[in-house]
């Protein structure tokens, strides 16, 4: 077969000249060349049909096409050179021509076959490249779309912020009714609160033009929005709005929503703060010193162990105590070997701090009225190693009867209060406290502070101080109570000894307090990062029950009303005796004499009483007899006369009862 093919090829070669041979060989080359351009056109068509979303993708594809074209042209030129070499060899010898022809035909066929394979592979590569580029383009398009949406939203939000302040209007009555029917829309409420606060901060300049609403309308709407958003009752939010500017009010309310940091107090009776900090750091407690104003406080950020169950806590090395509870004891500043009373001691944080400052010397009377709280008080005293404290269970108003008047050096009164300064600990205060509750607490606090003042000895060499504190921000529980004490006892306000804190109110709305109330200190969570607190320090000037130069007639009239249960004679005598000043002078004597004359006209039958009065007046002129003893004698005479009159009536009734049966018999 090979010989036959060779003969056929030789015959054909012998019939045609070499020039024709070149012409025959050239169509094969042309055919190969003509078959490749469609591939390039197809590629170009494919590239043209694809959507060119990004210039980067199109340039990459064009570069790939140019590289493929250059490689194809190189292969074609190589094949041309190869075929030309074969033709030259055929011109030299016939045998070589036959071999070259045999080789040329298979090569041409292989070349054509190879071009088809290349087309398939190139097509598959293009398909894969086109598929990958499509996914990339889609993902990029999605990314661009998202970025555009985010940008549009930001632009719209900024535009709304710029436009809304100028266009803000209070909601109408219909809109408020519709809001009441629907669940509360918190984002819209928050935006409205911010706008109202912004306008109220400078109402004259920021009020919308053409708005006929007054400032009270904005304040009323702010009250309603704050009540619904934060959950306060109308009374409490109204009081806070009256006390603080609107901008500071928002800071205070936001601070109430956050918990205060945990703080502990080092027990200096057993350890030092540095040693305690090292031990707790080794246990995985992250802490720092509390502040410059405290030498024993530590603030705890986080802990890997329960901070209230460590061996150091159980050993009494520290006490879990809020930072605001340090302040009353620091203001009291007790000294060693003094007699100190803590009128409301449970759970014992302040009492143990006082004992540590006194170094377990002197005597501390830790009083607590509620029996269930005595357990925690005594347990903390034992755990902290306190040995100079006596725990007692009395009403603070009755302690003067137990310990005696003017019997101690210092008194700490952390009075029971409404707790409006510790809302972050007890959120029920937002809705549970009312105006009546504040009045009840204020009345109790006034009684307690008078009892605390009566306990202190004004002649104490080192003491004579009373510290009053509450965890409330209400003015009736703080400044009003101190002002009441200043009017009814001979005391004065002194500096608390605290370098920080805001001064108390000397006036509030229609109320005007003593100017020295600026020496009191207020502490707020949004300013000092501690619970709301009030601290005042009083110095007792004398042991007199009534202050010098204050409203004496008001007090005497109240005491006179107490004795109004007796008969008319006793009432007249009580008023006369109680209205006499402690120091005898000319003018009060005339008043007493005129009152005696009026009493004589009203009650002519009490001659003996008036005789006693004359004798009493002469005695007071000589100055030999003291006034309290005179009062006791007069009161005993009244009682004796009343008792005698009753006995006489009983005798007459008995005699009448005895006589009636005799007449019947």
**Predicted confidence (pLDDT) at residue 194 exceeds the cutoff of 70:** yes
603-612 core/surface letters (b: 16 or more CB in 10 A; e: else): beebeebbeb
Token pair for residue 469? 């504190």
Judge whether 85 is annotated as a binding position: no
Domains of the chain: 173-257 (no CATH), 261-321 (3.30.70.1170), 323-540 (3.40.50.150)
Position 312 confidence tier, pLDDT thresholds 50, 70, 90:
very high
Judge whether 346 is annotated as a binding position: yes
Examine residue 288 and say whether the peptide bond preceding it is cis (omega within 30 degrees of 0). Answer: no
pLDDT at 566: 41
Q: d(Cα 466, Cα 496) in Å, to the nearest integer?
A: 11
Judge whether 345 is annotated as a binding position: yes
643-658 per-position pLDDT tens digit = 888 888 888 888 887 7
Q: d(Cα 487, Cα 472) in Å, to the nearest integer?
A: 22
DSSP output for 529-568: SS--EEEEEEEE--S-SS-TTS-HHHHHHHHHHHGGGS-H
Q: Between these two residues, 65 and 261, which has the higher pLDDT value?
A: 261
pLDDT at 107: 47
**Predicted confidence (pLDDT) at residue 217 exceeds the cutoff of 60:** yes
Judge whether 347 is annotated as a binding position: yes
Q: Which residues neighbour 305 within 8 Å (Cβ) at sequence distance 6 or greater?
A: 283, 284, 285
For residue 43, the number of C-alpha atoms closer than 13 Å in the C-beta half-sphere is: 23
pLDDT at 53: 43
Q: What is the mean pLDDT of residues 324-334?
A: 95
Cβ atoms < 10 Å from Cβ of 372: 8
19-71 per-position pLDDT tens digit = 444 444 444 444 444 444 555 445 544 444 444 444 444 444 455 555 555 54
**Predicted confidence (pLDDT) at residue 89 exceeds the cutoff of 70:** no
Q: What is the dihedral of CA 547, 337, 352, 366, to 10 degrees?
A: -50
Cβ atoms < 10 Å from Cβ of 549: 7
Judge whether 38 is annotated as a binding position: no
CB 308, CB 328: distance < 8 Å: no
pLDDT at 564: 37
**Predicted confidence (pLDDT) at residue 442 exceeds the cutoff of 80:** yes
Token pair for residue 558? 């109240």
Question: Beta strands 511-512 and 507-508: pairing type?
Answer: antiparallel
Q: What is the mean pLDDT of residues 203-215?
A: 82
**Predicted confidence (pLDDT) at residue 556 exceeds the cutoff of 80:** no
**Can you tell me which residue has the tokens 């049909």?**
49
pLDDT at 541: 93
Catalytic amino acids? 471
């Amino acid at each position: 077969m090979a010989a036959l093919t060779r003969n056929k090829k030789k015959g054909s070669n012998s019939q045609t000249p070499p020039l024709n041979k070149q012409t025959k060989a050239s169509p094969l080359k042309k055919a190969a060349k003509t078959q490749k351009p469609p591939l390039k056109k197809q590629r170009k068509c494919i590239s043209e049909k694809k959507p060119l979303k990004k210039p980067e993708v199109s340039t990459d594809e064009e570069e790939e096409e140019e590289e493929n074209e250059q490689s194809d042209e190189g292969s074609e030129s190589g094949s041309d050179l190869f075929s030309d070499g074969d033709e030259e060899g055929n011109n030299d010898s016939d045998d070589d021509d036959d071999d070259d022809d045999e080789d040329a035909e298979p090569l041409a066929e292989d070349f054509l076959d190879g071009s088809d394979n290349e087309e398939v592979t190139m097509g598959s590569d293009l398909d894969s490249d086109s598929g990958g580029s499509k996914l990339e383009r889609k993902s990029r398009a999605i990314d661009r779309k998202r970025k555009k949406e985010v940008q549009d939203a930001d632009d719209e939000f900024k535009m709304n912020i710029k436009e809304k302040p100028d266009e803000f209007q209070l909601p109408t009555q219909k809109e408020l009714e519709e809001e009441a029917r629907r669940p509360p829309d918190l984002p819209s409420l928050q935006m409205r609160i911010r706008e109202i606060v912004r306008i109220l901060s400078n109402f004259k300049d920021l009020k919308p033009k053409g708005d006929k609403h007054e400032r009270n309308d904005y304040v009323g709407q702010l009250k309603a929005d704050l009540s619904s958003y934060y959950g306060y009752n109308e009374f409490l939010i109204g009081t806070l709005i009256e006390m603080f500017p609107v901008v500071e009010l928002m800071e205070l309310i936001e601070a109430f929503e956050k918990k205060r940091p945990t703080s502990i107090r080092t027990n200096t009776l057993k350890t030092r703060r540095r040693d305690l900090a090292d031990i707790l750091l080794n246990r995985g407690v992250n802490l720092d010193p509390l502040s410059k104003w405290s030498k024993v406080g530590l603030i705890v950020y986080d802990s890997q162990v329960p901070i209230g169950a460590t061996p150091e806590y159980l050993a009494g090395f520290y006490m879990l105590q809020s930072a605001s509870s340090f302040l009353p004891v620091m203001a009291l500043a007790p000294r060693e070997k003094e007699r100190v009373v803590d009128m409301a001691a449970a759970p014992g944080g302040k009492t143990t701090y006082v004992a540590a400052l006194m170094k377990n010397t002197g005597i501390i009377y830790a009083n607590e009225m509620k029996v269930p709280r005595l357990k925690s008080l005594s347990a903390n005293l034992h755990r902290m190693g306190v040995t100079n404290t006596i725990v007692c269970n009395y009403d603070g108003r009755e302690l003067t009867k137990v310990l005696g008047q003017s019997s101690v050096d210092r008194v700490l009164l952390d009075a029971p209060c409404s707790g409006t300064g510790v809302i972050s600990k007890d959120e029920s205060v937002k809705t549970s406290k009312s105006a009546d509750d504040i009045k009840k607490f204020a009345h109790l606090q006034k009684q307690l502070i008078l009892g605390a003042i009566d306990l202190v000895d004004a002649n104490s060499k080192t003491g004579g101080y009373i510290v009053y504190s509450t965890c409330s921000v209400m003015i009736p529980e703080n400044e009003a109570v101190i002002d009441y004490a200043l009017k009814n006892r001979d005391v004065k306000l002194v500096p608390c000894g605290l370098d920080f804190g805001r001064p108390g109110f000397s006036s509030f709305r229609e109320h005007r307090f003593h100017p020295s109330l600026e020496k009191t200190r207020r502490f707020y969570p949004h300013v000092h990062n501690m619970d709301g607190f009030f601290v005042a320090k009083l110095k007792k000037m004398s042991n007199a029950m009534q202050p010098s130069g204050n409203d004496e007639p008001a007090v005497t009239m109240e005491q006179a009303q107490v004795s109004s249960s007796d008969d008319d004679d006793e009432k007249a005598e009580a008023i006369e005796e109680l209205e006499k000043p402690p120091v005898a002078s000319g003018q009060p004597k005339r008043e007493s004499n005129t009152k005696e004359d009026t009493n004589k006209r009203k009650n002519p039958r009490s001659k003996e009483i008036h005789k006693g009065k004359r004798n009493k007046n002469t005695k007071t002129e000589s100055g030999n007899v003291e006034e309290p003893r005179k009062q006791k004698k007069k009161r005993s005479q009244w009682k004796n006369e009343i008792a005698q009159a009753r006995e006489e009536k009983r005798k007459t009734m008995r005699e009448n009862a005895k006589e009636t049966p005799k007449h019947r018999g």
